[in-house]
Amino acid sequence: MASHLLSLLWTTTSFVGIVWAANNDGVYSCKDPKFLHANDFSFSRLRFPTPTTSMRRKRVLTTVFDRELPGLNTLGISMLLFDFAVGDFVAPHVHFRGTEIFMVLRGSILVSFNISAPIHRQYTKVIRAGDVFVIPKGLYHSQKNVGNIDSTVIAAFNCQNPDGVPSRR
């Protein structure tokens, strides 16, 4: 079954760019398709959210970027899981590489993003479990747990590694 899936991937995409290792310049090379395994396309850490009370930080971030899931290399997608303690927040930051879409799985999150040109405007909304919100590529944004329980958010990006850049405000 696995070999059939891998041959299907090979024939439908011409090449699956799987991370083998980063060289000294941080550039990824691709794994030879004959050495691919199902584990190159699988990631299990999201099923075990970390309780925020067991950490020194109030927020726990579990990324599923190309470094953690090699099968994402060259596919242009990634995701992450945020576990927020009550009152915790993600400071303003921007993703220049991709748009972010996220869904609240538990709790209530205040989300905010800014548009600077041609008009200066801030958009804010409290989203709750089951709600989805999108933040366009290149816009500064932040999130805060405004509920009375820990919140969990799953986010996806249309790039393999969004690398958030903090605001300089």
| pTM for this entry | 0.69
Q: Which of 28, 32, 39 is nearest to 16 (CA)?
A: 32
In sign, the C-alpha dihedral spanning 60, 66, 68, 71 is positive
CA 71, CA 10: separation in Å to the nearest integer? Answer: 13
CA 11, CA 5: separation in Å to the nearest integer? Answer: 10
| Secondary structure of residue 99 in the 3-state scheme | coil
What is the predicted pLDDT for the residue at 40?
A: 75
Residue 83 identity: D
What is the predicted pLDDT for the residue at 49?
A: 58
Is 50 in the same domain as 99? yes
100 marked ligand binding residue: yes
CATH of the domain at 48: 2.60.120.10
* Tens of pLDDT, residue by residue, the chain (169 residues): 443 333 333 333 434 444 444 455 555 556 677 777 788 777 776 666 555 554 444 556 677 777 777 777 777 888 888 888 899 988 899 999 899 999 999 999 999 998 887 888 999 999 999 999 999 999 999 999 999 999 999 999 898 777 767 766 5
What is the predicted pLDDT for the residue at 164?
A: 67
95 marked ligand binding residue: yes
Is 94 in the same domain as 149? yes
What is the predicted pLDDT for the residue at 69?
A: 74
User: Would you say how long the chain is, in residues?
Assistant: 169
Distances (CA, A) of 55 to 44, 60, 61, 148: 20, 8, 11, 18
Q: Give the domain range for residue 143.
A: 43-166
Is 83 in the same domain as 6? no
Is 22 in the same domain as 77? no
141 marked ligand binding residue: yes
CA 93, CA 103: separation in Å to the nearest integer? Answer: 18
120 marked ligand binding residue: no
Please identify which residue in the block is written with the tokens 């944004």: 141
Domain count, the chain: 2
Is 21 in the same domain as 94? no
Q: Which of 146, 149, 124 is nearest to 135 (CA)?
A: 124
What is the predicted pLDDT for the residue at 19?
A: 44
